[in-house]
Copies of this chain bind each other. A is one copy, B any other.
Amino acid sequence: MIKTGIFIFPNVETLDFCGPLEVFSAANIALNQNFFDVYVFACSMDAVKTINGLSVNPVYDINSVPQPDILVWPGGDGTKEVIEQQSVLQKLEALYHGSQHAFSVCSGARIPAVLGLLDGQTFTTHHSVFDDVQRLAPRARVRPNNRFTDNGKLLTSAGVSAGIDVSLYLLEKLKGVEVARKTARYMEYPLTRKKRL
């Protein structure tokens, strides 16, 4: 089982994290196999309210979360507060170093940016925050026309719905095109969308 840990926080954008959660769990459902253990975690066990008003209960807090193999940083306006919290950033950095893959969705790119993880790497993000992420990571190489970027271990994706695309892409990379195709078919979503809309 590939542990897939999704970090959530107040004012996270709902689809930013529900897209990846859907893809990796749908792979289990569509193929009737337990490929992925998918869970959300937060700073504490308190319910997290998304920017869209949805109240979500974390499965773990950041101190007890099992080390994810895949670490997901969704976006949303709340990322502005996340990157001001040094103790949270330190824990996210440690989780990154213990993971096999990590990706940001939308303005979630602020997190690897402030951690210095985007230095020398390519990134994309929500169209409204290219400048902001570039300011946080001046040595990162922006790819404004990409739906997502792949730096090997670290990936980034464009805004909101693009978290679905980078997840399907990573799924294909890890489990092969047939698993990705069946998952996309289950979700009735196109498998290959690599260019920014």
Binding site for B on A (CB under 8 A): 13-15, 18-19, 21-22, 25-26, 29, 38-40, 47, 51-57, 59, 126-127, 158-162, 164, 185-190, 196-197
Contact = CB atoms under 8 A, between A and B. Distances in A.
Number of copies: 2
A55 B57 contact: yes
Contact of A187 (B22, B56, B159, B189): B159
Contacts of A159: 186-188
B160 A187 contact: yes
Contact of A52 (B22, B47, B54, B57): B22
A126 B187 CA distance: 9
A196 B189 CA distance: 9
Contacts of A51: 25, 29
B25 A18 contact: no
Which of A54, A55, A185, A187 has most B Cβ within 10 Å? Answer: A54
A19 to B, nearest CB: 7
A72 to B, nearest CB: 13
A40 B54 contact: yes
Contacts of A185: 127
Nearest to A157: B188
